[in-house]
Amino acid sequence: MFGALATVEGAPLAVLAEVAREFSPRIEVCSPREIVLDLNGLTRLFGEARTIAEELRRTAADRGLRVRVAIAGTRTAARLLVRYRAGLTLVEPGNEAAAVAPLPIGLLGEVANPQSPEPEAQSLEVLATFRRWGLRTLGDLAALPSDDLAARLGRQETDWQRLARGEDARPLVPAVPEERFEQTLELEWPIEELEPLSFVLGRLMESLEAHLVQRDRGAAVLHVRLRLIKTDGTTRDVHERSLQLPVAIRDARTLRTLALLDLESNPPAAAIDRVTVAVDPTPARIVQFSLLTRPLPTPEQISTLMARLHALMGEERCGSPVAIDSWEPGAFAMKSFMPPDANALRSRDDTQRHRDTEEKPLKDPGAAPIVAVRRFRRPLPIRVHVKQGKPSSVSIMKRGLSGGAVDSCAGPWRTSGAWWEARTPSLDVARDALSDSRRANPEPRIPDPWDRDEWDVALADGPTYRLFRERHSDKWFLEGVVD
């Protein structure tokens, strides 16, 4: 059983939808003045169909709306009747074709285009054809043989005949209400410290978590808006912070901790008299645990840890390193740390385990060994004695690293770059402006100029080092150990 609700006069669609949602959660907006309700199963709550229709009109009248109501066994019949008949119309299930038969055929153009208040050009052309045939009512079109109609106009036009019989061409598509996951609290007295603010945030986050759990959603972005009040008591400003969360989170304690740590690094400039928290919702994540692998830290724990590290060390010094497209030695960028997907890790482990069980080919004894360079995060200053243009001895003032005479060496390999970048204040300003985008996307990066000669040297007592000399300062550095 379906009900159609249409306004007689122009009224806001939001008000009409609000009236319809008080009776059924499944509604479909057909036009700015018409809504269809799914009334199946509502007789136990409101009574018979007439009682439901009278309650609909009464509720709409309380909101200041004059409406038409039609209830039938199909959506199409209810829509046709509510567009033609005023007041309240009831049709017993099974009698839809007889109820809509006397209606004028021009109503089909309105019902066939639910999102348009006026018939389209194609619909007008089909209706003109029907009128040339002498069809005036829906009953005239419904009485035609379906096969002959399809032979004349095509199989697609038989949908018009189904509408003329009051049959539904498709199921009801319920409109999803736009939900706002937001909580606001007006404070009786302004607060200035983060400690009392934490209690306010905890209360708001608990209400927000309940709403997210009810809708099976998680927070993708957390917004915190603080209304500030100045000393004069009249000037107001808004301090807003947005946190991009790595995964969908809805735990109240985690969200509160992340907000407080961010506000600790970016404190408001005045007292606070209103607090608003809101989230951009996303579908909640589904976690599949395994009995065969070690459990990983939860995303809530990782997000809290990263927030504490950002507050302690700075946002530019925490994250995941990623290589960038550059010839600069040791060039990399920092991006936001994203916890690995447990399902993806499990799939990779299974694939690796399957490869390990397969028979592996024997290694060629004559194959060259794999060489790796263990680079130092900061190159170590060293002293190098040069003889005939080549390093002859190395002196390293670092515990655990020994120097000595050079047995053999290879090089130099000269590299230089970014020399076209002038060291000007404007460049430093641009470098600071790109710090945020550099963390999110490693591509936008202004490299530092470099000009150096690299050497690989093997000492007489065994170790092999990667050295380089800065050509502009003539200083030597130890970049890494060759293994």
Q: What sign results for the dihedral spanned by CA atoms 19, 23, 29, 31?
A: negative
Nearest of 248, 254, 343, 246 to residue 296 by alpha carbon = 343
pLDDT tens across 338-389, in order?
Answer: 666 555 555 555 555 555 555 555 555 556 667 788 888 888 999 999 888 8
Q: What is the mean pLDDT of residues 13-22?
A: 82
Q: Are residues 137 and 87 part of one domain?
A: yes
d(CA 483, CA 465): 9
CB atoms within 10 A of CB 473: 9
Strands (E) in 181-314, as ranges, are 182-191, 217-229, 236-249, 271-283
Q: Is residue 272 a contact partner of residue 195, using CB atoms and an 8 Å limit? A: no
Q: Are residues 138 and 212 part of one domain?
A: no
> For 229, left (φ over 0), alpha (ψ -120 to 50), or beta?
beta
- Of 258, 283, 308, which one is at a domain's C-terminal end? 283
Q: Are residues 381 and 276 part of one domain?
A: no
- What is the distance of C-alpha 314 from the center of its chain? 26
Q: What is the CATH number of the domain that holds 224?
A: 3.30.1490.100
Q: Write down the pTM of the prediction.
A: 0.50
Residue 347 lies in a domain: no
Residue 302 lies in a domain: no
Question: Please, what is the end-to-end C-alpha distance for the chain in angstroms?
Answer: 78
Nearest of 288, 208, 200 to residue 249 by alpha carbon = 208
Residue 81 lies in a domain: yes
Nearest of 200, 202, 197 to residue 185 by alpha carbon = 200
Q: Which pLDDT value is given to residue 94?
A: 84
Q: Are residues 159 and 17 part of one domain?
A: yes
Q: Are residues 8 and 150 part of one domain?
A: yes
Q: What is the mean pLDDT of residues 219-239?
A: 81
Can you give the residue range of the structural domain that contains 204? 182-283
Q: Are residues 82 and 159 part of one domain?
A: yes
Q: Are residues 410 and 271 part of one domain?
A: no
Q: What is the mean pLDDT of residues 445-461?
A: 82
| The token pair that represents 357 in the structure block | 């069980």
Of the pLDDT bands very low, low, confident and very high (cuts 50, 70, 90), residue 225 is very high
Residue 276 lies in a domain: yes
Q: Are residues 11 and 155 part of one domain?
A: yes
Residue 244 lies in a domain: yes
Check residues 94 and 224 and name the one with the higher pLDDT: 224
- Of 283, 313, 347, which one is at a domain's C-terminal end? 283
Owner of token pair 């009409």: 16
Residue 356 lies in a domain: no
**What b/e string do you get for 351-379 counting C-beta neighbours within 10 Å, with b at 16 or more?**
eeeeeeeeeeeeeeeeeeeeeeeeeeeeb
Check residues 351 and 37 and name the one with the higher pLDDT: 37
Nearest of 473, 475, 465 to residue 394 by alpha carbon = 465
Domains in the chain, number = 3
Of the pLDDT bands very low, low, confident and very high (cuts 50, 70, 90), residue 441 is very low
Q: Is residue 337 a contact partner of residue 439, using CB atoms and an 8 Å limit? A: no
Nearest of 405, 403, 385 to residue 469 by alpha carbon = 385
Q: Are residues 186 and 160 part of one domain?
A: no
Residue 270 lies in a domain: yes
Secondary structure (3-state) at 178:
coil
d(CA 150, CA 145): 9
Q: Tell whether the model's pLDDT for residue 423 goes beyond 60.
A: no
Owner of token pair 């990399």: 332
Q: Which pLDDT value is given to residue 224?
A: 92
Q: Which pLDDT value is given to residue 277?
A: 93
Q: β-pairing, 320-323 with 217-229?
A: unpaired
Q: Are residues 468 and 432 part of one domain?
A: yes
Q: What is the CATH number of the domain that holds 133?
A: 3.30.70.270
Q: Are residues 187 and 143 part of one domain?
A: no
Q: What is the mean pLDDT of residues 131-155?
A: 84
Of the pLDDT bands very low, low, confident and very high (cuts 50, 70, 90), residue 278 is very high
Q: What is the mean pLDDT of residues 60-78?
A: 86
Nearest of 200, 333, 180 to residue 263 by alpha carbon = 200
Comparing 43-57, 175-189, 309-323, the range with the smallest average pLDDT is 309-323
Residue 318 lies in a domain: no
pLDDT tens across 395-405, in order?
Answer: 988 888 888 88
- Of 106, 135, 164, which one is at a domain's C-terminal end? 164
Of the pLDDT bands very low, low, confident and very high (cuts 50, 70, 90), residue 438 is very low
Q: Are residues 149 and 225 part of one domain?
A: no
Which amino acid does the sequence have at 63? Answer: R
